[in-house]
Amino acid sequence: MTRRTFHRAPEGERRQELIEATLDSIAEFGLKGATVRQIALKAGVTAGLVRHYFDSKDQMVADAYRLVLSTFAVKAIEVDGDARARLRGFISRNLTAPVANGRSLSLWASFISQVRVDPELAAIHREGYLGFRNDLQGLIADLLAAEGKPHGEAECRRLAIAINGMIDGLWLEGCLAGELFEETELVSIALASAEALLGLPLGPLEQNTDAS
């Protein structure tokens, strides 16, 4: 009848572990299967601990959604270089891991299916998605200006919608059936298609030179 031994996690670490375990559970078992007990099991703690770190399970899930969106949001501003390089980088980074893989799609679908139900998730969603297409539209306007082919806002908007749609759709295809594509196939298709839509060359596929 001895109590199970445990170790006290350092400052803030356990909270992070619980959020990660929440995402793992949702990706693996769906929202229905991501019970407090299941999540605690994955995190290697007992269920009661969840409410030591979060006001409720729902709040923990909401925090987990924030984390997902922050890894998805490859902000335009995070890409360096001239207008062309920035658009290339934006497209490329949105179509490769960790943004594009099966786990991401599972998580994304799980949360999207709840956005219409849960007002708190809806607020997080709105916040996270606002600006994604605006970033892209800004990149496109910059590029057209730099190439000496400036266009009005309406045309930039149409281009941004089309290219954004293509990125989203290729992301979907990559997540749903990533094993059917070569490593860089989707990215090069996206770049070539963006060229066709813009009527501009974007240059060769950028190699990933991140130091990280």
- Applying CB under 7 A, which residues contact DNA? 1-9, 14, 34-38, 40, 44-53, 56-58
Residue 205 binding a second copy, by CB under 8 A: no
- Smallest separation, CB 149 to a second copy (Å): 15
Which option in a second copy, DNA, none does residue 48 bind, with CB closer than 5 to 8 A by kind? DNA
Instruction: Tell me which of 16, 59, 101, 106 binds a second copy, using CB under 8 A.
Output: 106
Residues 126-165 that bind a second copy (CB under 8 A): 129, 158, 161-162, 164-165
For residue 188, the SS3 value is helix
Instruction: Tell me which of 75, 116, 134, 201 binds a second copy, using CB under 8 A.
Output: 116
Which option in a second copy, DNA, none does residue 151 bind, with CB closer than 5 to 8 A by kind? none
Residue 189 binding a second copy, by CB under 8 A: yes
Instruction: Tell me which of 13, 28, 78, 127 binds a second copy, using CB under 8 A.
Output: 28
Q: How far apart are CA 123 and CA 66, in angstroms?
A: 10
Instruction: Tell me which of 186, 187, 202, 206 binds a second copy, using CB under 8 A.
Output: 186
122 secondary structure, DSSP code: H
Q: How far apart are CA 207 and CA 110, in angstroms?
A: 32
Which option in a second copy, DNA, none does residue 170 bind, with CB closer than 5 to 8 A by kind? a second copy
Contact 25, 34 (CB under 8 A): yes
Q: How far apart are CA 190 and CA 170, in angstroms?
A: 8
With respect to a second copy, which residue has the nearer C-beta, 102 or 138? Answer: 102
Distances from the Cα of 157 to the Cαs of 89, 134, 137, 142, 197, in angstroms?
20, 9, 6, 13, 13
C-alpha atoms less than 13 angstroms from C-alpha of 176 in its C-beta half-sphere: 7
- Smallest separation, CB 120 to DNA (Å): 13
Contact 175, 105 (CB under 8 A): yes
Which option in DNA, a second copy, none does residue 45 bind, with CB closer than 5 to 8 A by kind? DNA
Contacts 24+ apart (CB under 8 A), 145-150: 145/83, 146/82, 146/83, 146/84, 147/83, 147/200, 149/199, 149/200
Q: How far apart are CA 125 and CA 9, in angstroms?
A: 31
Residue 31 binding a second copy, by CB under 8 A: yes
- Smallest separation, CB 126 to a second copy (Å): 10
The owner of tokens 């409410």 is 51
Q: Which residues bind a second copy (CB under 8 A)?
A: 27-33, 102, 105-106, 108-110, 112-114, 116-117, 129, 158, 161-162, 164-173, 176, 181, 185-186, 189-190, 192-193, 196-197, 199
